[in-house]
Amino acid sequence: MEEFINKGFNELFLAEMSKFDSRKYAYEIFFNADFERFSKISQFYFNENGSGAYNYMRNTYHSWKNNYVTPNGMSTYRIISSTCTTFTIDEKFVEAYTLLGNFIKNGFPKIIQLKQVNKTFEQIIEKINSFDLEKTSSYSKYIYSKVEIIEFQSYVKEVFKYYTKTIFENLNVDLELFKKVYTDINTAFLTTSFHTYLFNIEISIHNVVNKKFEIKKVFDLDHAISFKNLLSNKIAFFSIKQVSQISKANDTTKIDAILSENEIEKIVFRKVEIEKSNLGGTVDLNLKTNSGILKISFRILSPKEKLIITIRIIVFLIANILIANYFILKTNQLFIFVCGLFVSSFLILPILGDINKLTKDLFKTNKDGRK
């Protein structure tokens, strides 16, 4: 739990929070609790299950703990439910938060185009709104009191909505960064992929330069959510901790985004240097931005690689001219001509993609040169 609490929100949202299993956690707590907590657990165990079950638990506790005996289904349920009654606010929050995270996991597409961002955002908000903590958690009646369940449900919904909005709003800023990647690196050998921090949605950004995209200004929507909404009076201290954590996570992403922009500028400069040095190769970057993780990969062809591609094209052309000349014009053997064409195509088929990209790059260079 400590590690969950101490980590930044982005890291938690990305993947780790979904790994949290309250049943497993409660089970571990039961065997590792301090005296005070264990007394509370035992008290509940006794009150809920009676003296017979309680005595059995006391007698077999060490055998369970040392794995000599495994508790049966009923005992496991009793262990977990009793421990759940002693959950702290932090633990209750993580439980509600994880359940909501898992609940909305399948409520939106995992791979989308940029133009689908607004629609996906609305789908996620809709899904968050339909979350019911009591129905989702099998141990909710032990973890939360009647009042708490409403409070935590609405609280995690607010946190999720706020953070969803923050990330989607930040995408607006990242659009400029995506454009910069395509215009500055400026090669057909460039491939990118982008995953949002939140929900790990893959957004295809390859056409960001050609079209104008505008992500909805989500905070201008009706029922806008602010930090103020997140400050619940009932769980005041905890709320402030969460609010400042979101704020800190957001500031951290801004630092990352600035550094990523610098990295892109530097890599453009180095690409030129590598090209000048007659070296070839690949460059792969994983960069954190305002709203997610951007992967950039591109290839630099050395002059020698370009020459080899050119020679293969020339040999292919000459061979085909000769084959066509002999089998079509002189002997009229179409079948053998097709066979010859098929065999010689192995000269260029494996590098067809490279030829295509290289041609595009040559046109680009000519255009830029003319400009």
**Which residue lies nearer to another protein by CB, 53 or 309?**
309
Q: Whose Cβ is closer to another protein: residue 5's or residue 283's? A: 283
- 37 or 288: CB nearest another protein: 288
First to last CA, the chain: 59
One-letter amino acid of 174? D
* Chain residues in the site for another protein (CB under 8 A): 226-228, 231, 236-237, 240-241, 243-244, 247-248, 251-252, 255-257, 259-260, 262-263, 266-267, 270, 273-274, 276-288, 293, 302, 304, 307-308, 311-312, 314-315, 318-319, 322-323, 325-326, 330
Q: Return the number of the residue (208 or 257) whose C-beta is nearest another protein.
A: 257
Nearer to another protein by C-beta: 131 or 189?
A: 189
* Least distance between another protein and beta carbon 7 (Å): 13
Q: β-strands 191-196, 292-300: how paired?
A: antiparallel
Rounded least distance, CB 330 to another protein, Å: 8
Nearest distance in Å: CB 286, another protein: 4
**In sequence order, what are the residues at sequence separation of 6 or more whose Cβ sits closer than 8 angstroms to the Cβ of residue 355?**
309, 313, 348
Q: In the bound complex, what is the minimum distance in angstroms from residue 299's beta carbon to another protein?
A: 9
Beta carbon of residue 203, minimum distance to another protein (angstroms, whole number): 17
**Alpha-carbon torsion (107, 109, 114, 115), positive or negative:** negative
Element (H, E) at 207: none
| Closer residue to another protein, CB minimum distance, 27 or 326 | 326
Q: How far is the CB of 162 from another protein (least distance, A)?
A: 12
Q: Mention every residue, 6+ apart, whose C-beta is less than 8 A from residue 329.
A: none
Contact indicator for 63, 120 with CB cutoff of 8 Å: no
- Which residues have a Cβ under 8 Å from the Cβ of 80 and sit 6 or more positions away? 23, 26, 27, 30, 139
Report the DSSP pairing between strands 202-204 and 191-196: antiparallel
Handedness of CA 158, 163, 166, 167 (dihedral sign): negative
